[in-house]
Structures are given as structure tokens and as C-alpha cells.
Amino acid sequence: MLISAGPARADTFGVQVDKQISCDNGSSFVDQGLVTANEDGTNSCNAIAGLALIVRYQVKNTGTGTLFQCSISESNPGIGVGPGNIGNIGAGVTTAYFTDSDQNASTALAAGEPDTASVSCFTTSSLDPASTVGASDTASFAVLQPGVAIDNQVSCDGGATYVDSCSFPPGGNVAVKATVTNSGQVDLTNCGVTYNAFLGDPPPGGAATPVTVSPTPFDLAAGAPAQAVTGNISGATAGFETVASVTCNEGNSVATITATDTANVTADNDLALANVPTNITVNATSPSGAKVNYTKPNVVDEDATAPTVSCSPASGSTFPIGTTTVTCSAADAGDGNSPATASFTVTVKGALAQLQDLQTYVNGLPPGTSLPTKVQTAINYYQAGDIADTCKTLTSIIKEAKAQSGKKLTAAQANAVIAAASRIRSVIGC
């Protein structure tokens, strides 16, 4: 019995493609699923700028016939042209993944998103261009920029105010604070702050001296409030530079981001006295000496409120005959060189010195040698301890000067002689 065969069944042809993207170095992929025309929608992940971006592709032959010379193309030129020719695919076969991992996430690369992977296959072994099937799938990624900033500040007033630079009394305490800010779009993890002081005045000084600060390490999410890290430096005898550095992991990756900032501390040794009076010389006006007025020095200090200057003996005091040293000082507990001191002398001329000055003045004055002789006589009496005759002689000098005023002597000359002789009489107690 002859059985005739029925008509041959024609093959069916169909293809699906799946494009997936990983933004976490292959730990997970988005937009999974084989599709014909992106019917699962476009899914996306967030990639960290500079880190690896992985794209992978998979194709399935959904028909009953073999597909020939299949190729995958990519619409984002930054990613590349795609895997290209992947060969023939048997009926019902799903290929392994074709992976592209040779690019890093960047703003330029993200400009081509979302992007589409397209697969095209021939349905005949002769590769007839009129006999093809295809499919497409779209996936996307966005790029997040990591960022970190650190602001290093110091306080020389016990933490009341923090600034970029301050002055402290040597040996005192300096508070330090480094404020870390997440300035990017990526969560930062395991942020560690290192703090070093480079001792030496003026800064920067010598080798680094580590400073203990806390808290560290810590995590800092994108948009979270800044984290302050604090510590103290004590016992320094000179100025120094401080350097604060922070290093964080970008998300859960091993990639890191860093920032550094400096702050300076100078030793407060600026306390000083300026405009110190020059040495003063005056004539005694009585046996006790003379009242002397002077202007106190000015204090030089960077502090807002300058300390008071005190001098001893004080201005307006009666200074005894002879030379007296006046010492002025100003004290400020915030200065390492406190107290600042300065001195000058006050010399009060006694009777003998004034007689000798009078002798110099009358030498050469008219009339003749009368006045110089009388002054010398007064000097001789005074040096011999004869105060009474010294006083008489000074009276005689005064009378002669008055008599010659406007005659042999000008009024000014006569008045000068009279004033000097009268003052000397007061000094010796005539």
C-alpha cells in the first residue's frame, strides 16, 4: 500500500533581543528581558562618572528555522557599534551574553541616552536582503557626579570662633575643625579624615605631626548635612600650618575621591610698646627735684582691646635730683611675649650742674668779666659747702643782671640770668 506524503510545513522566523546595562560594575543589570520592540519599556540605572559601565546583549531565535549571520548594532556611538556579527542561531536557541565593558560613565557618553540595540538576521542561507527579521530593545543610564569638599578652620579662642588663620599664645590650646561636605550627587561612604600639623613659625613648618580628630570614618549621603570633625592641638611653642584631608569611597565602589584644605596658626608674640619717650633732662626747681610730665608709650597689639600701659614713676611725679629710670609695661595674657616693657631716663640737674650751665651762658656776656667771675665765685662757695655765701653771690648776680637789663645786656639775656640764678637759689634753699 502506497502512502503519499503531505505538503511540507514551512518554517517560521522570529527573533528577540535583550539589552541590559549595569551601573555597579556587574553586580546588577537593568532592563532584563527578551523583547521584539522594546515592549518592556526603557529602564535606567545611575552610573558614577568615571567608573566602568557594562552593557550586555542577548538574542533568541523564536522561530522554527535557522537564522543566518545575525548582527547586533548599537545606537549610542559612544558605546560603540555593538557586538556586530554574532553568526547563525539555530531554531529556539538563546545565545550567551555578548558583553561590552570597555567604557567608563561620563556626561558625554550619557548624551547618547537612551540608546537602542537592534538585531538583524537573514532567514535564508543565501543571505537574501529581502528575507530578514529583526528586533530592538532600549535601555538607558544617567551619570551622577561625585564630589567632596573640606573646609579646615582653627580657633584660638577656645572654640568660640573658627577662622582660616588665627594667633595664639605659645603653649596654649588651639581647637581645629574640618567640615566635610558632599558636593556631588553620589553617596559617599567610609570617609576618613587625616589631620596633620606642620610645626614651625612661620608656617609651614617641619615634619607632619598627626592630630587626633573625630568622628572618623563616617558616611555622607548626597544632600546630607555637612559633617564636622574636631580636635585639639596644645603645647605648641611656635606657629604652625594645619592640613586636613578627606578620602571617601564613591558609593559602594572601591573608587575614592579626596579633598584637602589648609589653615595657619601663628604665635601671638606681637605685644610691644611704641613711641617710647626719649631720655629727658630738666632743671631742679627745689631741693626735692622737679615735677616732670611725659607722654606714655603706645601699646601695639593685634587684639581688639589693647592692654593698658603703666609707667613708674608716673608722669607728673616729682623726680629727685640725679638720673631716674622710668619703666613702662603692658601685659596681655594672650601674648607669648607678655609683658612688653620699655624704659627711658629722666635726669634732674642739681645746683652745681645748673651753676655750670649758667657759667657757660654768661661767658662772653657784657659787661666785661663781672658776671662770669661772680658765677665762678658761687661755684667755689657751693663746692666748699658754704651755702650762705653761695646764696649772697647769686643775689649779687641777680642785681647786676637787673641793673644791666636794657643796657649792657638785652632784656632777654638779663631775664635768662635772673631766672637761672633765682631757680638755683630755690634748689639750695636760700
User: 6-21: per-residue pLDDT in tens?
Assistant: 455 689 999 999 999 9
Exposed, middle or buried: residue 85 (CB in 10 Å: 0-12, 13-18, 19+)?
exposed
Q: Please state at what angle helix 351-362 crosses helix 411-428, rounded to 10 degrees.
A: 160
All three cell numbers of 224: 546630607
* Cα separation, 307 vs 301, whole angstroms: 8
User: 249-292: per-residue pLDDT in tens?
Assistant: 998 888 899 999 999 988 877 889 999 999 999 999 999 999 99
DSSP state of 388: H
pLDDT at 204 > cutoff 80: no
pLDDT at 201: 56
Is the overall model pTM greater than 0.75, yes or no?
A: no
How confident is the prediction for the chain on average, in pLDDT?
Answer: 92
User: 40-96: per-residue pLDDT in tens?
Assistant: 999 999 999 999 899 999 999 999 999 999 999 999 888 876 788 999 999 999 999
Asked if 362 and 372 count as a contact pair (C-beta separation under 8 A), the reply is yes
What percentage of the chain exceeds 90 in pLDDT?
77
* Cα separation, 221 vs 101, whole angstroms: 28
The more confident residue out of 200 and 401 is 401
| Nearest of 125, 60, 55, 116 to residue 86 by alpha carbon | 60
CB atoms inside a 10 Å sphere around CB 288:
13
* Cα separation, 356 vs 354, whole angstroms: 5
